[in-house]
Every structure is written in structure tokens, then in C-alpha cells.
Amino acid sequence: MQQSHAYNDTRLALTTRVLDAKARKDLSWQDLADDTGLSLAYVTAALLGQHPLPAAAAQTVGDKLELDAADVAALQIIPLRGSLSGVPTDPTIYRFYEMIQIYGTTLKALVHEQFGDGIISAINFKLDIKKVEDPEGGSRAVVTLDGKFLPLRPF
């Protein structure tokens, strides 16, 4: 039977154990996502406490991290989602917050103009990040947010 968390306490403790094992074993997020059949972004988010893993993927990750059976089972529980409250203080996360502060209304206006009244789903969603060389020097981060448009349905 599928289980669900009501609080973040136990999931935060599990995430700490995952991060400790990942560091101790010198594994990358990609190393952990390999052989799960899931995307890098999904597995990373799951291991950071934002998604449940299917049983086979949880076992694969658990084996790589040498987690016990209880932790492998806990990776399969639906978490209480949302890891941020208030304005983020981490500089990398803050820059995404800043992008939304500056371009959020632009994105909303363009979505509504092109699609109509509705939202872009974060449930039926894909995320990708790629490092590309900048022709002007250095590197650029290309972040793709790919969500299904869900129209408002009057009732």
C-alpha cells in the first residue's frame, strides 16, 4: 500500500543519510540515477526529499548507497513536498527566485496569451539542465522547464 508523510522530520533525516553516503562513496547524482530508468532531475529531487521512488529504483539507489531496508522503503513514501519557505538565502537558489521575481509576470503573460487561462503543471513536468560553452567565453547553464499546460475549466 502506498504511504504518505505528513511531516518533513523523518524525510529530512533520510535525506541527511543519503547525502552522507553519497559523499562518503564519492558518487555523483548521475551515478545514483544510472540504472533506475528515471531522469537525473527526478532521482535527484527524490533523494532530496521531493518525490517518492518506485520500488526498483529505490532498491537500486539503496544498493549503491548501502542503505538499510527501512531507508529503501522510506524512499518510496510520498513526501510532504516543498523545501523552501520565505526568500531563499542560498545564492544559487536565490538567483532562480530572482529570475522569477523579474520574469514571473512576463512568463505568466506569455503563457496566457499563447495558451489561454490555466497553469503549467509541476506534476506532469520534466526538468533538464545542460552546460554549454558561451561563444563570448565561459559557460552557460541551459535550464529547460517542460510542463503540461492545464487549462482552467469553469464549473
Residues with a catalytic annotation lie at 95, 98, 121
- Our CA angle for 78, 70, 2, nearest 5°, is 30
In order of 85, 103, 132, the CA distances from 88 in angstroms are 7, 17, 26
Supply the DSSP string of 30-93, one letter for each residue.
HHHHTTTTS-HHHHHHHHTTSSPPPHHHHHHHHHHHT--HHHHHHTTSBP------SS--SHHH
In order of 131, 138, 139, 141, 153, the CA distances from 134 in angstroms are 9, 5, 5, 9, 43
**Spatial separation of the C-alpha atoms in residues 121 and 96, rounded to whole Å:** 18
Amino acid at 40: L
